[in-house]
């Protein structure tokens, strides 16, 4: 396959950046999207040019590091996969492919296609955990967890924190991410006890970091590589309301 690539190049965080055009030839339809980019980078290195910087790690869809906005969609044209799981057979010979970084005020570009997703870590630090006391090992079956809850919790916990929800959202809202991180604990008795505090702290952190407000367009759900449901956002909203309206004030 022969392809034309239009890639966002930006030297560093303060550089203005712009789209540059590259050609790659002889790409196998069986190769992955990243192998195609590796080919391009090899070409650039041999031509004494700076290779394109992009994030990747596991290359098997579990770490959430990869983050490319391909032809107007995060993680490319296919549903339910990450960029590292995308293969060139999803494109045709002669295609022009636009590759851009995630765009959001809360995700500043560091270089080329790499953005700083530290904002997600700050939200997690605000409350995305379960407080555990040290001591003897508790009996695994001491606290009953209904199967339905266990499954819903696991579905939410599938979120790999890649940021595709923010990238696809017209408002650059992080609500799908935050709600998944709240729901994974809220469905379990061990996590539920802290929901009131957690939901307020995490929403406050999310707002302070400059993410937009959800306007219920659901692009996030359509683009999420782990197909996290927007029902989690409703769960977060009602827990937030409960915390603000029904819960007793602590301290």
Partner 1 sequence: MNNRLLKFASIGKKVTMGLAGLFLILFLLVHLGINLTLIRNDEGEWFRAASGFMGSNYLVKVFEIVLGAALLLHMILGVILWFENRMSRPVRYFRTNRSDTSFLSKYMFHTGVVIAVFLVIHFINFYFVKLGIVDPPPGVDTHDFYTMARLLFTNPVYSAIYIVALILMGFHLNHSFQSAFQTLGLNHNRYYTLIKRMALVYAVVVAAGFILIPVFYLIKY
105 is a site residue for partner 1 (CB under 8 A):
yes
One residue of 39, 44, 53, 63 binding ligand FES per CB under 6 A: 63
Q: Cβ of 5: how many Cβ atoms within 10 Å?
A: 19
Contact 7, 19 (CB under 8 A): yes
In 3D space, the residue among 135, 139, 160, 150 whose CA is nearest the CA of residue 186 turns out to be 150
65 is a site residue for ligand FES (CB under 6 A):
yes
Q: Minimum Å distance from CB 187 to ligand FES?
A: 24
Q: Which stretch binds partner 1 (CB under 8 A): 33-41, 125-133, 184-192, 231-239?
A: 231-239
Q: Which stretch binds ligand FES (CB under 6 A): 22-30, 52-60, 131-139, 239-247?
A: 52-60
Q: Which does 172 bind (CB under 5 to 8 A by kind): partner 1, ligand FES, none?
A: partner 1
39 is a site residue for ligand FES (CB under 6 A):
no
208 is a site residue for partner 1 (CB under 8 A):
yes
Contact 83, 25 (CB under 8 A): no
Alpha carbon distances (Å) from 43 to 25, 37, 51, 134, 210:
10, 10, 9, 54, 38
One residue of 10, 82, 168, 196 binding ligand FES per CB under 6 A: 82
196 is a site residue for ligand FES (CB under 6 A):
no
Contact 220, 169 (CB under 8 A): yes
Q: Which residues contact 167 (CB under 8 A, 6 or more apart)?
A: 67, 69, 74, 102, 103, 104, 107, 223
DSSP string for 110-132? EETTEE--HHHHHHHHHH-S---
One residue of 17, 24, 35, 59 binding ligand FES per CB under 6 A: 59
One residue of 3, 5, 40, 66 binding ligand FES per CB under 6 A: 66
Q: Are strands 114-115 and 109-111 parallel, antiparallel or unpaired?
A: antiparallel
Q: CB burial class (10 A; 0-12, 13-18, 19+) of residue 7?
A: buried
Q: Which does 239 bind (CB under 5 to 8 A by kind): partner 1, ligand FES, none?
A: partner 1
Structure tokens at 49: 């040019």
Q: Which does 66 bind (CB under 5 to 8 A by kind): ligand FES, partner 1, none?
A: ligand FES
103 is a site residue for partner 1 (CB under 8 A):
yes
51 is a site residue for partner 1 (CB under 8 A):
no
Contact 6, 97 (CB under 8 A): yes
What residues make contact with ligand FES under the rule CB under 6 A?
A: 56-59, 61-66, 82-84
What residues make contact with partner 1 under the rule CB under 8 A?
A: 6, 8, 19, 69, 71-74, 98, 100, 103-106, 109, 168, 170-173, 203-204, 206-208, 210-219, 222-223, 230-231, 233-241, 244
């Amino acid at each position: 396959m022969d392809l034309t690539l239009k890639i966002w190049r930006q030297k560093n965080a303060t550089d203005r950046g712009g789209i540059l055009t590259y050609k790659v030839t002889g790409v196998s339809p069986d190769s992955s999207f990243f192998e195609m980019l590796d080919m391009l980078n090899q070409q650039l290195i041999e031509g004494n040019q700076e290779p394109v910087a992009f994030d990747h790690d596991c290359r098997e869809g579990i770490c959430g590091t990869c983050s490319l906005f391909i032809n107007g969609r995060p993680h490319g044209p296919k549903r339910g996969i990450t960029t590292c799981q995308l293969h060139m057979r999803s494109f045709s010979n002669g295609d022009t492919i636009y590759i851009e970084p995630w765009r959001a005020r809360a995700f500043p570009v560091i270089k080329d296609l790499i953005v700083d997703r530290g904002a997600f870590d700050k939200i997690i630090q605000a409350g995305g955990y379960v407080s555990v006391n040290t001591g003897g090992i508790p009996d695994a079956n001491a606290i009953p967890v209904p199967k339905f809850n266990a499954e819903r919790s696991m579905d939410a916990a599938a979120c790999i924190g890649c940021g595709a929800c923010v990238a696809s959202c017209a408002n650059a809202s992080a609500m799908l991410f935050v709600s998944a991180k709240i729901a994974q604990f809220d469905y379990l008795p061990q996590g539920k006890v802290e929901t009131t505090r957690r939901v307020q702290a995490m929403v406050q952190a999310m707002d302070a970091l400059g993410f937009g407000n959800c306007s219920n367009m659901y692009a996030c759900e359509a683009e999420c590589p782990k197909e996290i449901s927007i029902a989690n956002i409703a769960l977060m909203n009602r827990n937030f309301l409960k915390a603000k309206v029904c819960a007793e004030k602590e301290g």
